[in-house]
Amino acid sequence: MFKASFQDILSRNWYLVFFVYGLAFFLMGFSIALQARRPSTFRLGQHLKLLAGFGLLHGAAEWAYIFLTPGLVNSGWETLKGAVLTSGHAILIALSFAFLFAFGMGLLGSTWGWARWGIKLAFFLFGLWLWIFFASQPKDAFEIPGWLSYMEILSRYLLAFPGALLSSIGIILQHSELRGLKHPPLERSLKGASFAFALYTFAGGLVVPPAPFPPASFLNTSLMLHLGLPVQFLRAIAGVFMAYFIIRSLELYEVESKKKLENLRQRELLWLERERIRRDLHDGVTQAIYGLLLGLDHALKLLDHNPTACRDKLEELKVRADGIITELRRYLRAMEFSIKLPGRAVTLLEDLLADYTAATNQKPVFYVRGQQERELDPFQREHLYHMVTEILSNIQRHSQATRVWVELDLGSTGLRLLVKDDGVGFIPEASTSRGMGLINLRERAALAGGWVEITSAPGKGTEIELWIPYVAPERGARQWPSK
């Protein structure tokens, strides 16, 4: 009873089934065509254009079933309209299967190291089918429906079945290459797409119109209709699943673009950091070592006639050498990879302030405001670490401060940091001793998508305020709030 009712519903809404079937494939092809214009280094991304061709052509071919009436098919070559529509529709279906075959062969061939002859083979087989199509045209109109049925069987056995099977295997084999992206939703989409192609291998490649030769003699559309599951409905289900998972898989391009951007940003940060360390070593450690050498020369001159003064000088030079070692350790620590840094700004600042306290015997006053803290991405925690390190280092070396205040304000999209000291102050525009440090601060703030403001004057201490977002912005983007 249920089977009869289900078949009755489908028979009265067959055009809706073909519309949904065609729409699923057309949307898949259209979505791929929009995204596949972007370059990709992954095998799947490089071959999706072929799948776009299959989706667009096959969707159009399935929609054409709505307009191909039995009378039009029977008219065949007797009318121009019948000849164009029937032959054009058959060629369109076969050509779509050729693109599916080319996608499967190209994807699997690039995975296993085959030559590109696999894609050429797909279109060679289509050319062979096309030659058979024109060479076997019937002269009598009543033979046209049977001839079209045989040509459809040939196109499905020759192109659709191996194409869908190869595509299913090729997609599932992409897991090893895409695993490095560490994006589980993409991996799940690929598994779903592989299943959808496997389902289409059966429904679209093996189930064909009845014919007096195996397997079409027993596995055909009549059998599926007898089982209460018309093959058109099964193909529509496979098409919807295929479209859904493939469109979800197009996230590959976005994930890959973000990965490339991260690599570019990392290289840029490394270059900037090397430049900063080079400048700081030249202006700081190198000059300190040169001064140490001058002090040793002076101690040697004192050794003969004033050993006590020489001893005092050496003690002084020892303290200066310890300072140089501490400075070198600071540089080495600054070069540590950002992934080792704490993800939370509060924890990161507490660690840096503890180091400052150990080095200066001064404990800064630390305030935290706001309850909307989020995890800093690796780029932002590296920016924050180096900026705060630079600020505290300047306070330690130049400010002669007795008190330091640090205020952290955790907002919804980013954090604001205010660092104040009661030191000697300086004129930011005229400073030479801190010039490179201030330039580095501003460069890092800009790279992080934020801002920094420095307020100071001689005898009035220094106040540095900065804001950065929790997540690194896209290149060229600006997302900081106005002050």
At 5 the pLDDT is 54
- Mean pLDDT, residues 10-17 taken together: 62
Q: Is 155 left (phi over 0), alpha (psi -120 to 50) or beta?
A: alpha
User: Pseudo-torsion of CA 299, 303, 304, 307, nearest 10°?
Assistant: 130
Beta strands, E only, 295-403: 365-369
At 151 the pLDDT is 92
Residue range 448-460, pLDDT digits in tens: 888 999 999 898 9
Q: Which long-range contacts (CB under 8 A, 24 or more apart) does 169-174 make?
A: 169/104, 169/108, 169/194, 170/103, 170/104, 170/107, 170/108, 170/111, 171/44, 171/107, 171/197, 173/108, 173/111, 174/42, 174/43, 174/44, 174/107, 174/111
Does 7 have pLDDT greater than 60?
A: no
What residue segments make up the domains of the chain, in order of their start? 2-249, 263-335, 344-483
Helix, strand or coil for residue 377?
Answer: coil
- The Cα 417–Cα 411 span in angstroms is 11
At 334 the pLDDT is 60
Q: Is 370 left (phi over 0), alpha (psi -120 to 50) or beta?
A: left
DSSP 8-state secondary structure symbol assigned to residue 208: B
Does 327 have pLDDT greater than 80?
A: no
More confident of the two residues 142 and 384: 384
- Candidates 419, 413, 425, 424; CA nearest to 469 is 413
- Mean pLDDT, residues 45-52 taken together: 90
- The Cα 26–Cα 28 span in angstroms is 5
Q: Retrieve residue 109's tokens.
A: 């061939």
Contact of 18 with 65, CB cutoff 8 Å: yes
Residue range 57-75, pLDDT digits in tens: 988 888 876 665 554 444 4
Please state, as a whole number, how many other Cβ atoms lie within 10 Å of the Cβ of residue 351: 14
Kindly indicate the confidence band of residue 178, based on its pLDDT and cuts at 50, 70 and 90. confident
Beta-bridge mates of residue 405:
365, 420
At 179 the pLDDT is 75
Kindly indicate the confidence band of residue 478, based on its pLDDT and cuts at 50, 70 and 90. very low
Cis geometry, peptide bond prior to residue 215 (ω within 30 degrees of 0): yes
Kindly indicate the confidence band of residue 474, based on its pLDDT and cuts at 50, 70 and 90. low
Q: Please report the sign of the dihedral spanned by the C-alpha atoms of residue 439, residue 444, residue 445, residue 449.
A: positive
User: What Cα–Cα distance (Å) separates residue 213 from each residue in 31, 148, 150, 219?
Assistant: 39, 16, 11, 10
Which residues are CB-contacts of 175 (< 8 A; sequence separation ≥ 6)? 187, 190
What class does CATH assign to 263-335?
Answer: mainly alpha
Kindly indicate the confidence band of residue 241, based on its pLDDT and cuts at 50, 70 and 90. very high
3-state helix, strand, coil in the chain (%, to 5): 70, 5, 20
Does 269 have pLDDT greater than 80?
A: no
Average pLDDT, the chain: 81
- The Cα 190–Cα 168 span in angstroms is 9
Kindly indicate the confidence band of residue 125, based on its pLDDT and cuts at 50, 70 and 90. very high
At 77 the pLDDT is 44
Kindly indicate the confidence band of residue 287, based on its pLDDT and cuts at 50, 70 and 90. low
What class does CATH assign to 344-483?
Answer: alpha beta
Does 2 have pLDDT greater than 70?
A: no
Kindly indicate the confidence band of residue 98, based on its pLDDT and cuts at 50, 70 and 90. very high
CATH T-level topology, domain 2-249: Rhopdopsin 7-helix transmembrane proteins (1.20.1070)
More confident of the two residues 474 and 243: 243
Most confident of the following: 255-259, 282-286, 307-311, 348-352? 348-352
Q: Retrieve residue 349's tokens.
A: 């600042």
Angle among Cα 300, 301, 307 to the nearest 5 degrees reads 75
Kindly indicate the confidence band of residue 283, based on its pLDDT and cuts at 50, 70 and 90. low
DSSP 8-state secondary structure symbol assigned to residue 98: H
- Candidates 464, 274, 449, 281; CA nearest to 388 is 464
Does 103 have pLDDT greater than 90?
A: yes
Helix, strand or coil for residue 368?
Answer: strand
Kindly indicate the confidence band of residue 435, based on its pLDDT and cuts at 50, 70 and 90. low
Kindly indicate the confidence band of residue 162, based on its pLDDT and cuts at 50, 70 and 90. very high
More confident of the two residues 263 and 239: 239
Q: Which long-range contacts (CB under 8 A, 24 or more apart) does 128-133 make?
A: 128/158, 129/94, 129/154, 129/155, 129/158, 129/159, 130/91, 130/94, 133/87, 133/90, 133/91, 133/94
Residue range 189-228, pLDDT digits in tens: 999 999 999 999 999 999 999 999 899 999 998 888 888 7
Does 282 have pLDDT greater than 70?
A: no
Kindly indicate the confidence band of residue 24, based on its pLDDT and cuts at 50, 70 and 90. confident
Does 479 have pLDDT greater than 50?
A: no
- Maximum distance among all alpha carbons in the chain? 127
Does 376 have pLDDT greater than 90?
A: no
Alpha-carbon Rg of the chain, whole angstroms? 36
Angle among Cα 229, 200, 10 to the nearest 5 degrees reads 30
More confident of the two residues 116 and 420: 420
- The Cα 129–Cα 270 span in angstroms is 57
Contact of 319 with 340, CB cutoff 8 Å: no
Percent of the chain with pLDDT over 90: 29
